[in-house]
A and B are shown apart, each in its own frame.
Chain A
Amino acid sequence: MYDIIIIGAGPAGLTSAIYACRASKKVLILEAKSYGGQIINTLDIENYPGEAHISGFDFATKLYNQAKDLGAEILFEKAVDINVIDNLKEVITTKNTYMSKAVIIATGSENRKLGLPNEDELVGRGISYCATCDGAFYRNKNVAVVGGGNTAVEDALYLADIASKVYLIHRRNEFRGEQSTVNHLKEKNNVEFIYNSNVTKLNENERLESIEVTNKDGLVKTIDVAGLFVAVGKIPENQNFAKLVNLDESGYVKSGEDCTTNVAGIFVAGDNRIKEVRQLVTATSDGAIAAINAVKYINDL
């Protein structure tokens, strides 16, 4: 029996663990893959207060060790369901069942896919969801980025220095990304903007060879690229808890800044919660708030 079970060992979940352990609670973290979450893909974090430069891997490892040293237990099992039994919570994983007084859901989000038929089999053979991870494989090759947010614009800028040509394909005619980054990108002479268009087909010969792009007037063209970087947003990983916890139409947990949910004793922290700003610092902030409120909830039981 645990006081608090935290689902997810990203920055939000690990921060929750730190706060909960420091409040002398017995904490179990359940993680499906490996600790750190999405931040491990970041080469250099430059916007976390107090750390001018740190790699995502180093940051995650420091956070993980801090939580473990304070007494958090961590098991690498995927949580698939939560049941409420009187005042207690039963968390079911692919291997076991664990009981606790409170649960913090900090599962984060995963990359949204384009949804094209051969997309999955081309991952690692031309399709990528992480420019900083895979950009180096496309030196002096033609690549495309699809998307219109900050990630897409930053990916295109990063790739412009590596690839010979970058196509940025966006379904609208303006970018939601930061204007300064967009301006930087417009100064690059090897970046071509393709507006009002979607990627509609992936042509392959073992590897990705070209993409079919269709614009809003139905005009189709084929572009030869060795790589396509997909940056069309994220999907919150809340599906397993949807029967219990209220989600909005995009799948984010309905919760305010207090990180509470519609279920007493179940809290949410990080990117899988409804919020305006999804940054490392807001994830760790959520982690602290969720843990403090979970501790308060347990002490009042």
Chain B
Amino acid sequence: MSITEVNKDNFEKEVLKNEGKVLVDFNADWCGPCKMLKPLLEEIAETHKQIKVVSINIDKEGELTDKYNVSSIPCLVLFDSGEEIKRNVGLISKDEIEDMIGE
């Protein structure tokens, strides 16, 4: 499964109404650590089919960025059945992402 680009219009459907875990990646085009994280998230999406991985561009989605109090990127937020259950700010390794999503 690839990474879905999410915006304020489909956030509810893609993230909040999704049954099971969704890993939301808040990022921006100019952010180096975000670019480092991206291939790792693609691998996670590929190997952990039960987890949905979505991406939010903070420059385009200011409303969602503010709503979720994101003020440093990369920022990964893990939702489970619509509830935020974990958050990580900053670049992490693939192992650490797997720890975070509980795999």
Contact = CB atoms under 8 A, between A and B. Distances in A.
Contacts of B59: 136
Interface stretch (A20-28, A35-43, A169-177, A275-283): A35-43
A188 interface: no
B36 A76 contact: no
A125 B28 CA distance: 17
Contacts of B36: 34-36, 40, 57
Given A123-B72, A134-B72, A206-B69, A76 B93 contact: yes
Contact of B90 (A36, A57, A123, A226): A123
A244 to B, nearest CB: 24
B71 A124 contact: yes
Given A35-B36, A57-B32, A124-B89, 6 more contacts: A33-B91, A33-B92, A34-B37, A123-B90, A137-B71, A227-B71
A57 B89 contact: no
17 contacts: A32-B93, A33-B93, A34-B91, A34-B93, A36-B32, A40-B36, A41-B32, A42-B32, A43-B32, A124-B87, A125-B71, A128-B71, A133-B72, A136-B28, A137-B71, A138-B71, A207-B69
Interface in B65-103: 65, 69-73, 75, 87, 89-95
Interface string A59-97: 010000000000000001000000000000000000000
Contact of B72 (A55, A56, A57, A137): A137
B68 to A, nearest CB: 10
Contact of A124 (B37, B75, B93): B75
A60 to B, nearest CB: 8
Contacts of A60: 32
A139 to B, nearest CB: 10
Contacts, number: 71
Interface string B23-56: 0000010111101110010000000000000000
Tier of interface size on chain B? 20 to 34
A265 interface: no
Contacts of A236: none
A55 B30 CA distance: 9
A126 interface: yes
A76 B59 CA distance: 30
Contact of B32 (A40, A76, A134, A206): A40
A207 B89 CA distance: 14
Contact of B70 (A57, A76, A124): A124
B24 to A, nearest CB: 14
Contacts of B28: 136
Contact of B31 (A128, A133, A226): A133
B63 to A, nearest CB: 14
Given A40-B32, A41-B32, A57-B36, A76 B94 contact: yes
B23 to A, nearest CB: 16
A133 B73 contact: yes
Nearest to A95: B95
A21 B31 CA distance: 31
Nearest to A61: B35
Nearest to B96: A33
Most buried by A among B37, B70, B71: B71
Interface string A117-145: 00000011110101001101110000000
Contacts of B30: 43
B39 to A, nearest CB: 9
Given A34-B37, A42-B32, A128 B69 contact: no
A138 B33 CA distance: 19
A258 to B, nearest CB: 32
